[in-house]
Structures are given as structure tokens and as C-alpha cells.
Amino acid sequence: MMVTLHDIRAAQARLHGISVRTPLLEWTGAADSRRLYLKLENLQPIGAFKLRGAYNKVASLSAEERGRGVISYSSGNHAQGVAYAARALGVKAIIVMPGNAPKNKLEATAALGAEVVTVGPSSEERRLRAEELAAEHGYVIVPPYNDEKIIAGQGTVGLEILEDLPTVETVLVPVGGGGLISGVSAAIKLSNPKVKVIGVEPEVAGDAQASLRAGHIVSIPAEQVTQTLADGLRTQSIGAINFEHIRAYVDDIVTVNEDEIRQAMHALSGNSRTVAEPSGAVATAAFLFHARELPLAKIHIAVISGGNIDPAMLRELRKS
């Protein structure tokens, strides 16, 4: 069940020429002695890291499985990742999305050629609908996070971080269902155990932190997690495979409040290369507002996991 360094390197080879090797950008927004570099996953073709795991999973399917078509469930960025991967590989894709997903994410998924099925706001609701449709039509499920191939694909972010900045001391990673942090933490800890890996999630959707503290998976009601601006992190619980990776490789998980997310987005929006959607800004928010909860370190990296911000929200941010 645990992803190995070999798995992540195999994913990196598979993704060559598909995903972008995103740059690290030193960010000068911090008025203290610490240094922060941003890992710009918002510069991927779909505007988010999710392409890595989605492509690795779909590309790993047999010809027979690809012929059946794939189905997934997502609030937006994984939807686009699966749609992009399926189009590149000539595979039919159906995506179950919440009807309240940002309009730009719904439209982008459909524009990539996927058939979109909408349901209510609960992450459980979309998972169950995808499972029903898969059972009915024989589609292969491409889960958003609880899958070894997905985790290995996301782990390529961690390999790039260490290759480009081997002196990094602390890596801050957004946490939703746990796919990104599972892969990044495995890649980093299996390569250099001295580097600290810290997860970051919204306070109102703090299920990963609660799970790590409790020693078992804690679930949060849909009506609570939907209160966060960070639509990509509204999962009610982390995946079982993800939890094993988090317990093995993640040093801590901190939470940020909604105002801190907004302030981090505002700070990042000043440069077109660093524009982040709410989910993509949480790691930067932790650096800016939760220094006391982070390990003592000078060189930090925050993963900007996505930049698919609603245009109206971006206009509002830039006015303020």
C-alpha cells in the first residue's frame, strides 16, 4: 500500500513531456529573516498539480481498462486533470462534480471533452454517484487521492523540489484528501529524512490535523467543510492510504483561518505568475501567519497547488 521512491520515479518518467516541471520562485513578500520559495503548480497546463496523479493513473491502465472509459469525482482540479489525461490518451471520461463547484472549473472540465455529471455539495455524494455509474457502465474509477498511482504522480512534485533546492529545510503542502501531501512527503522523506514536511488545511476543514492527532481517520460533516473558501480542500475525511503515508512521513499539520487564506491570496495576486486559488494559498498563509507553529528553519518552500481562481474573486482581491 505504501508508495516507494521507485514508484515516484516511474511516475516522473511517465509524466515527461506531459506535466510541466514547474519552477521555484523566491518570494520577497516576507518581512523577516526566513526565505520562502514558491513551487508554482499553478503553471501546469490545467492550472493545478492534479494533472500529475491523474495522468499517471490513466496511463497505467491496461488497454482493456482504457477501452471501458474512466470516471472520477472532484470539486474541480482533479476533474480537469482526469479530463486532460483522458483526452491525451484517447479515453472516454465522465466526471461527477458538485453543482456548487466554481463555474470556471465546471466549464474547463467540459471544455476538455469530459462528460460532467453534477450532484450536491457533499464529497461523499459525488464519490457514491461515481461508484454507482462505474458499476452500471463498467467505467474504471480514477479516485482523486486514495490511490497509489495518484500518490506517486503527485510525489513527482517532491522529487523536483529536492532536485531544484536541496538545501530546503521545511516544505509546506496543502491538504485536502491527502494525495499531494502523501506523495510529496514520501518523495522527500525517502530521499532526505531531515527535511520537515508540514501539511496545511483550512481550520473549518481540519480533518487531517484531527486525524493525525487522534491516530485514526476523523470525518467532518459536509455542512462544516463547505464553509471554507478553499473549494479544493472541502473533503470530509482523508483517504485510508493517504492516512498511512501522513502518519509515516508528515511532521505536523497546521490550520489557517479564512481571513488568513484571503490575505495570502491577496499577497500572491500581485504577481501574475503567483496567482493562487484559495486552496493554493493555504501553504503561504501558514508561512505568513503561523511561524510559531512551524519548525525553526530558514529555507522554506510553499506549494502553490493551483491557480484556478474565479475571475470575479480575483478582481475583488485586486481592488482591496
Beta-carbon contacts of 255 under 8 Å, excluding residues fewer than 6 positions away, are 200, 201, 202, 203, 206, 209
Residue 222 is predicted with a pLDDT of: 86
Please give the torsion angle defined by the CA atoms of residues 10, 11, 15 and 16, in that order, rounded to the nearest 10 degrees. -30
Q: Can you tell me whether residue 271 is helix, strand or coil?
A: coil
Beta-carbon contacts of 135 under 8 Å, excluding residues fewer than 6 positions away, are none
Residue 311 is predicted with a pLDDT of: 83
Cα separation, 80 vs 112, in Å, equals: 7
Choose, from 39, 50, 105, 189, the residue flagged as catalytic.
50
Which run of H or of E encompasses 106?
helix 103-111
Helices vs. strands in the chain: H and E counts, helices first = 14, 10
Cα separation, 156 vs 184, in Å, equals: 7
Beta partners for 96? 73, 117
Active site residue 305: yes
Residue 315 is predicted with a pLDDT of: 85
Pairing of strands 24-27, 35-40: antiparallel
Residue 30 is predicted with a pLDDT of: 53
Taking the chain (320 residues) in runs of 10, the rounded mean pLDDT of each run is 96 97 85 90 96 98 98 91 97 94 89 95 89 97 97 98 98 97 98 98 96 97 90 89 98 98 94 94 97 96 94 80
Find the largest Cα–Cα distance for the chain: 57
Cα separation, 160 vs 145, in Å, equals: 20
Q: Can you tell me whether residue 137 is helix, strand or coil?
A: helix
Cα separation, 317 vs 320, in Å, equals: 5
Active site residue 103: no
Full set of structural domains in the chain with CATH: 5-49+147-319 (3.40.50.1100), 51-141 (3.40.50.1100)
Residue 316 is predicted with a pLDDT of: 84
Choose, from 19, 75, 269, 305, the residue flagged as catalytic.
305
Cα separation, 132 vs 169, in Å, equals: 44
